[in-house]
Amino acid sequence: MTISSPNEVTQLLKKLTEGNRNVLDELLPLIYDELRRVAAGYLRRERSGHTLQTTALVHEAYLRLVDQTQVQWQNRAHFFGVAAQMMRRILVDHARSHNAEKRGDGFHIISLDDNIDVSGERATELVALDDALKALADIDEQKSRIVELRFFGGLSVEETAEVLGVSAPTVKRQWRMAKAWLYGQVQNQ
């Protein structure tokens, strides 16, 4: 495991923002283990033999992240927040394609306090949650980002607050409200 300081990663990300693509060789070893931890959190309860493995999810997300030319990387927390969002998109796309193959399955309501299981049986739930998150984003973008960072990204309240530039109590309050709203949305589908 590579140990790095948040400042070291932040400095490399700022250089990347400035267009210095040479820092990618230095950046990857510093962030790889953390990206794997986030990806493993997503796939922890995935069925065996699933076609999307942790390494593939990390590599796909990393390629999409470093290909971003319009992102102004603020710091390490911002990078991992965007990484969590990217992994969510990849998994939702995967779930949607899986559902296209298996129409007609019922789904169960998931708890936002549970780890997400993106197996075939739960792919419909992930898609329903993604649809509800999109609806929430139309109403309140910040609450949607909080759910995304906390639930999908596994960030703590403090890390989420840092990424969004708000206080931890604000994150806690909006997290509770967002969970209640999403529960109502998903339950009515």
84: in domain: yes
Confidence band of 168 (pLDDT split at 50, 70, 90): very high
Residue 61, pLDDT > 70, answer yes
Q: Judge whether 70 lies within some domain.
A: yes
At 40, the pLDDT band (50, 70, 90 cuts) reads confident
Cα 20 to chain centroid distance, Å, stands at 26
Domain that holds residue 90: 6-187
pLDDT at 34 (0 to 100): 85
What is the pLDDT of the chain when averaged over all its residues? 78
Residue 106 pLDDT level (bands cut at 50, 70, 90): very low
d(CA 34, CA 72): 20
Q: Which of 74, 89, 86 is nearest to 35 (CA)?
A: 86
What value does the mean pLDDT take over residues 95-111? 56
Q: Answer whether residue 36 is part of any domain.
A: yes
Whole-number pLDDT of residue 85:
81
Lowest mean pLDDT among 10-24, 62-76, 92-106, 119-133: 92-106
Which among 137, 138, 148 has a CA at the least distance from the CA of 91?
A: 148
Sign of dihedral through CA atoms 165, 167, 168, 169? Answer: negative
Which residues have CB under 8 Å from 49's CB, separation 6+? none
Quote the pLDDT of residue 139: 93
Flag whether 114 is in a domain.
Answer: yes
Q: How confident is the model at residue 51 (pLDDT cuts 50, 70, 90)?
A: low
Domain presence at residue 1: no
Domain count, the chain: 1
Judge whether residue 177 has pLDDT over 90: yes
| Residue of 95 and 131 predicted with greater confidence | 131
In a domain, 89, yes or no: yes
- 35 and 81 in contact (C-beta within 8 Å)? no
| Model pLDDT, residue 109 | 46
Q: Does residue 179 belong to any structural domain of this protein? A: yes
Q: Which residue has the higher pLDDT, 14 or 187?
A: 14
